[in-house]
Structure 1
Amino acid sequence: MTCTRFPDACPNLRTVPPDLPRHEGGVQCGCSTPGPSSRIKLDDLLSSDLDALYDRAEQAETERDAVYRERAHLVALLAAMTGGAVIAPALDTPEPGWQIVYLTLGGRQASWHIAWRDADLFKDVEHVEYGDPRAQWDGHTTEDKYAHIAAHTAELAARGGAQPGPAATQATEPDTPTEPCNATIDGVYVPYLETVTCTEGRSTHGPNHVGPPRQYGQLLWTDHHAGATPHRETPDA
């Protein structure tokens, strides 16, 4: 929209550089008032405007990737400190090469999508196929995951920090082998199978046994809180 004083008395003249072969440049009124009629159309953008928009988009993408990279570093650290971590191909992303890492934190599953550009951080995590029982999403939402992580963090802080995981134990005590628990547990949270074997990687763990969220493709727990609930051992455990 051009003001009535354009061009001689327009107080907001804008110099327009040449954009050959479309035009040779000149001046443009800068007094457009807000409204539907003053919205910039793609055909009205100069090549310099488009270049600026592309630069802003590339900068935003670079900043986003840097944030994902930082997150991936922290998830890789958690995987190294957590027994039983696995990573599998992700089939729910439009871009190829993405993976999903599955951890068990405080008896409950936590998973993250990992971009192909960050896969190098997880080269030491066990790689499994998509259908592996250990790489089956248990239905937790992002909100569920971070709420549990916050609660588990508070619990660890209250008892003086995290217990060393299998990797840390092996690094500090190379001569002492770590035996898995393998106790047989049962209870109301095992609706499909009569017994479940504890998946805790240490025979001397805390008071609660930990069962897998899925076994043989079946969901074991009837709710997401069951993994953190004490389980009753069978007499032969």
Structure 2
Amino acid sequence: MSAPPTKTPPEGPVPGGSRPRGRVIALLRLLGSRPPATGSRADPSHRLALDLEGCRQDLARWRRNADSYARELSRLSRERAHLLAWLAALHPASAVVVPSAGAGPHLLRLTAGERQLCWRLPSAELPLFTHVPYAEHPSAPVPGDGHEPVDQGAHIRHHTRLLAIEGAFLAAAAGRRPPSRPDGP
């Protein structure tokens, strides 16, 4: 006797909207998971354990990133404090440390380009500013505290350009060529 003919599933979607089993298995393999054995149901606790482990790995990765960002922020804050201390040393006639109006941090004030500039100084940074005189009461409102709109960065950029032009002019007047720019001729 001959074996009864086997029926092969049709290609494409099966009536009712489901896909053939072979395509589902191939899709699951592409996604990296194994389908449950035929006739058994997937163990939800195993799937939850895998999801939990994945979440723990993501958490560890994000903590490493956050720690890295925190270290970089601390490094940049220290560098900022040292640069402000240096700037205050370059402007000894106008630099002063004053207490903030509220219970906030102290302020470093100095005049550059005929304009008062101001930066907040956390208490931990105050030892870097022992060379700067201390004033008990602020003599003018703090720029940016609602008293006057200030774009301190724009003023610093403008003043820096003026100082660079002045340096080039003085060098040309003394008969020297100003140094060439690394990105220019």
TM class by shorter-chain length? 0.5 to 0.7
In the alignment, which of 84, 101, 125 is matched to residue 94 of structure 2? 84
Q: How does 1:91-130 map to 2 (within 5 A)?
A: 98-129=105-136
Aligned pair count reads 134
What does the per-residue CA deviation read over 1:118-147, in whole Å, with 9 as the maximum and x for residues that have no partner?
332112212224x42157436431343323
Q: Which runs of 5+ in 1 are unaligned?
A: 15-20, 29-42, 162-237
Q: TM-score if structure 1 supplies the norm length? A: 0.44
User: Which residue in the other structure is 1:35 paired with?
Assistant: none
Whether 1:149 and 2:156 are equivalent positions in the alignment is no
User: Which residue in the other structure is 2:61 paired with?
Assistant: 52
Q: Going by fraction, where is helix more abundant, 1 or 2?
A: 2
Q: Going by fraction, where is strand more abundant, 1 or 2?
A: 1
> Is residue 95–residue 111 contact of structure 2 (8 Å, CA) maintained in 1?
yes
Looking at structure 2, the residues matched to 89 and 13 of structure 1 have their Cα atoms a distance apart, in angstroms, of 61
Looking at structure 2, the residues matched to 23 and 91 of structure 1 have their Cα atoms a distance apart, in angstroms, of 58
User: Which residue in the other structure is 1:170 paired with?
Assistant: none
Looking at structure 2, the residues matched to 112 and 22 of structure 1 have their Cα atoms a distance apart, in angstroms, of 56
Which secondary structure state, in structure 2, belongs to the residue aligned with residue 133 of structure 1?
coil
> Is residue 128–residue 135 contact of structure 1 (8 Å, CA) maintained in 2?
no
User: Which residue in the other structure is 1:133 paired with?
Assistant: 139
Could you say if the C-alpha distance between residues 139 and 125 of structure 1 is closer, same or farther in structure 2, counting changes exceeding 3 Å?
farther
Q: Percent identity?
A: 23
> Is residue 95–residue 110 contact of structure 2 (8 Å, CA) maintained in 1?
yes
> Is residue 102–residue 135 contact of structure 1 (8 Å, CA) maintained in 2?
no
Once the two structures are TM-superposed, the CA of residue 102 in structure 1 deviates from its matched residue by 0.8
Q: TM-score if structure 2 supplies the norm length? A: 0.54
Once the two structures are TM-superposed, the CA of residue 50 in structure 1 deviates from its matched residue by 1.4
Q: Which moved more, 1:83-92 or 1:47-56?
A: 83-92
In the alignment, which of 72, 80, 97 is matched to residue 63 of structure 1? 72
Using CA pairs under 8 Å that are at least 6 residues apart, name the structure with larger relative contact order, 1 or 2.
1
> Is residue 99–residue 115 contact of structure 1 (8 Å, CA) maintained in 2?
yes
RMSD (Å), alpha carbons: 3.8
Once the two structures are TM-superposed, the CA of residue 23 in structure 1 deviates from its matched residue by 7.7
Could you say if the C-alpha distance between residues 48 and 88 of structure 1 is closer, same or farther in structure 2, counting changes exceeding 3 Å?
farther
- For the pair shown, the structure with the greater C-alpha radius of gyration is 2
What does the per-residue CA deviation read over 1:38-70, in whole Å, with 9 as the maximum and x for residues that have no partner?
xxxxx9962232122122112112212212221
> Is residue 87–residue 125 contact of structure 1 (8 Å, CA) maintained in 2?
yes
Could you say if the C-alpha distance between residues 58 and 90 of structure 1 is closer, same or farther in structure 2, counting changes exceeding 3 Å?
farther
Looking at structure 2, the residues matched to 91 and 51 of structure 1 have their Cα atoms a distance apart, in angstroms, of 42
